[in-house]
């Protein structure tokens, strides 16, 4: 579930989302089976989703619970995470894919947008060679697809691994994950102070 402005997210002017004012964003991730009911969360109104999230974080730190309680219920939506499966390179004469159209990934590593930008940059480089008549379109697209699939599905795999760590239910694994995160936090804090 995400604290966001649903109208701006889903409306015609979604690219004009108001982000010049202060706002906060939170997300609650868990496995589908952990929700208290087996209804389609995407069909529930924001108030119900907010209440479900508050109930499920009832034993979390009071500061985090308070932050969630301040959320405008009209801004809460449920968004299922989609993860692309690896595919083999394909032949194309003049059509290709980039970004989420080919390698959707959970936002748990924060690299989906950058991977899409990398696709665009690579494709642009390849198309310049076609425009200069140095290469054919079909050969160029095949090169692009081969290179893009290599790095993009590594990013998908990494994002999926991060998601698995976040929703892990094994107590030993969760303890190790928390220790690792605390170590990273300590390391970054020390690095900032030096």
**163 touches 81 (CB < 8 A):** yes
**86 touches 153 (CB < 8 A):** yes
CA 161/CA 28 separation, integer angstroms? 17
Higher pLDDT, residue 123 or 42: 123
The predicted model scores a pTM of 0.72
**Residue in 133, 97, 130 with CA at minimum distance from that of residue 116:** 97
The predicted structure's pLDDT at residue 191: 63
CA 113/CA 34 separation, integer angstroms? 29
CA 105/CA 24 separation, integer angstroms? 23
Residue-wise pLDDT for 27-71, tens only, equals 888 888 888 877 788 888 999 999 999 999 999 889 999 999 999
Residue-wise pLDDT for 153-172, tens only, equals 999 999 999 888 888 777 78
The predicted structure's pLDDT at residue 16: 55
Assess whether pLDDT exceeds 90 at residue 114: yes
**Residue in 180, 178, 158, 173 with CA at minimum distance from that of residue 110:** 158
Sequence-ordered list of residues with C-beta below 8 angstroms from that of 136, at least 6 positions apart, any chain? 130
CA 180/CA 187 separation, integer angstroms? 10
CA 49/CA 76 separation, integer angstroms? 7
Residue-wise pLDDT for 6-21, tens only, equals 554 555 444 555 667 7
Mean pLDDT in residue range 182-194: 71
The predicted structure's pLDDT at residue 125: 96
Per cent of the chain over pLDDT 90 is 49
The predicted structure's pLDDT at residue 128: 97
- Coil, helix or strand at residue 10: helix
Assess whether pLDDT exceeds 80 at residue 102: yes
């Amino acid at each position: 579930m995400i604290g966001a402005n649903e109208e701006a997210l889903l409306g015609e002017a979604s690219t004009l989302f108001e982000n010049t004012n202060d706002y906060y964003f939170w997300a609650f991730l868990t496995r589908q089976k952990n929700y208290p009911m087996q209804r389609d969360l995407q069909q529930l109104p924001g108030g119900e989703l907010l209440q479900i999230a508050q109930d499920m974080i009832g034993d979390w730190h009071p500061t985090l619970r308070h932050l969630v309680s301040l959320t405008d219920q009209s801004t809460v939506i449920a968004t299922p995470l989609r993860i692309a499966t690896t595919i083999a390179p394909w032949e194309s004469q003049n059509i290709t894919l980039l970004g989420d159209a080919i390698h959707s990934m959970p936002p748990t590593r924060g690299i989906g947008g950058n991977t899409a930008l990398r696709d665009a940059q690579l494709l642009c480089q390849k198309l310049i060679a076609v425009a200069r008549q140095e290469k054919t379109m079909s050969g160029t697209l095949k090169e692009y697809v081969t290179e893009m699939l290599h790095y993009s599905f590594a990013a998908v795999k990494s994002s999926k691994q991060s998601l698995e760590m976040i929703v892990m239910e094994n107590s030993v694994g969760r303890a190790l994950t928390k220790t690792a995160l605390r170590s990273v936090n300590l390391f970054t804090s020390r690095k900032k102070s030096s």
